[in-house]
Amino acid sequence: MRFNEVIGQKEAQNRLLQMVGEQRIPHAILLCGPSGCGKMALALAFASYLLGENDSEPTPQKRNVEAMLRNWEHPDLHFTYPVIRPTGTSSEHKMVSGDFALEWREMLMKGPYFTMDQWLDCMKAANQQAQIGAGESDELMRKLSLKSSQGGFKVSIIWLPERMNAECANKLLKLLEEPPHQTVFLLICEAPELLLDTIRSRTQRIDIHRIAEADIEEALVTRRGIDAEPARCIARVANGSWLKALETLDADNENRRFLDIFISLMRLSYQRNVHELKTWSETVAGFGREKQRRMLSYFSRMIRENFIYNFGLSDLNYMTADEENFSKRFARFINEANVIEISELLMKTQRDIGQNANAKIVLFDLALKMIVLIMRK
């Protein structure tokens, strides 16, 4: 994968290439940024560059490298990512990334822009949460202790290191303190505050910002064949996320379903229909925990957007046409008297779900409290 396949992020690209040009490549780089900004795309492009895929004259060795990277099977490129424990797997088996290597490569072949939820779908996770366990750090130590098969760099890409358990994190710290020869670690992180301070201190952090609207618009036109005007509208709603731009193109994307669920919650809360709210909470409790957390994040965004909508500042609103149509009637119910408490309630609910609380109880509690909050003026 080459840098010209990355959408936008020229500043970050130039910084990475400058490190190579000045021969000052850190042994560990922490790429931090929101979902959809292209962290994985940058990491894959940089790894490919280090391993020999560049714009130099083609040679037999270079063509061989490109062929291996095309299928993400280069022997000096190692991936670490969160995995689940499939039902029926022995508790004695320490899960490692290699247990899902086939699914991982299949996902990468579809493109470098994806979410944890898409990865969970690839692993056929039900209600499980993925993590990186101690077995993974042992496996990584074993792999990186070997000599480079091509005589150059070894690259270790660690996706979402914030999902490491404590034992794995401490073992990775030892690797970062005494890195194997000519090994570069690329950590792709969305919540750096969850990493050990000692791990953060041993990496060079590069913050990856949201993709510029102009870059998303250009990519929609050139890569997706979208006309200029709708591409401009989609780029605005995407708010710097290529993933959200792709979701907007999908006629049946998840956010449209979340909007229907959000509308149902607010209408039933306004009607004080406790019986139907109980049914609502039981239905939503049937979703997997990761999906519930995504849904609650969407609810939080809608609360924010509806509060801003009341001020008539269209430049500060980032809603689809369907979301705006609902907000025209609903926004007046989100005001100074309740916006903070509703936001805090949604954050607490999301935290409780993440800590494996009983989803039926937590979501029904959310619905009952919403009855009181939605009527405040």
**What would the pLDDT profile of 255-306 be if each residue is shown by its tens digit?**
888 999 999 999 999 999 999 999 999 999 998 888 898 899 999 999 999 9
| Domain co-membership, 291 together with 313 | yes
d(C-alpha 66, C-alpha 150), whole Å: 13
Question: Which of 57-61, 107-111, 174-178, 371-375 is predicted least confidently?
Answer: 57-61
Handedness of CA 293, 295, 300, 304 (dihedral sign): positive
Same domain flag for 36 and 63:
yes
Domain co-membership, 205 together with 215? no
Identify the domain boundary among 197, 219, 240.
240
Region 110-134: what's the mean pLDDT?
87
Q: Higher confidence at residue 205 or residue 250?
A: 205
Calculated CA dihedral for residues 112, 117, 121, 125, nearest 10 degrees = 130
CA dihedral (117, 120, 122, 124) positive or negative: negative
Helices 10-21 and 39-50, packing angle to 10 deg: 20
Question: Residue 348 is part of a domain; what is its CATH number?
Answer: 1.20.272.10
Q: Are residues 18 and 102 in the same domain?
A: yes
Same domain for 190 and 215, yes or no, is no
pLDDT tens-place string over residues 180-226: 888 999 999 999 999 999 999 999 999 999 999 999 999 999 988 88
Q: Are 136 and 283 members of one domain?
A: no
Same domain, 153 and 284: no
Answer yes or no: is pLDDT of 252 > 70.
no
153 and 230: one domain? no
Measure the CA–CA gap between 148 and 75, rounded to whole angstroms: 8
pLDDT at 38 over 70: yes
Tell me how crowded residue 167 is: count the other CB atoms within 10 A of its CB: 13
- Domains of the chain: total: 3
The sign of the torsion formed by the CA atoms of 311, 316, 320, 321 equals positive
190 and 227 together in one domain: no
| Sign of the CA dihedral with 23 first, then 69, 112, and 156 last | negative
Residue 171 CB neighbour total at 10 angstroms:
16
- The CATH number linked to 104 is 3.40.50.300
Kindly state whether residues 13 and 161 are assigned to the same domain. yes
Average pLDDT, stretch 65-82?
Answer: 89
pLDDT of 56:
61
Q: Which of 154, 186, 209 is the last residue of a domain?
A: 209
Residue 77 has pLDDT above 80, yes or no: yes
Contacts of 304-310 spanning 24+ positions with Cβ under 8 A: 304/343, 306/330, 306/331, 306/333, 306/334, 307/331, 307/334, 307/335, 307/339, 310/334, 310/335
Averaged pLDDT, 143-160: 88
Please state whether the predicted TM-score (pTM) of the whole model is above 0.85.
no
Lowest mean pLDDT among 174-183, 312-321, 332-341: 312-321
pLDDT range class, residue 54, cuts 50, 70, 90: low
CB neighbours (10 Å) of residue 90?
7
Same domain, 231 and 308: no
> Are 199 and 216 in a shared domain?
no
Domain that holds residue 345: 245-375
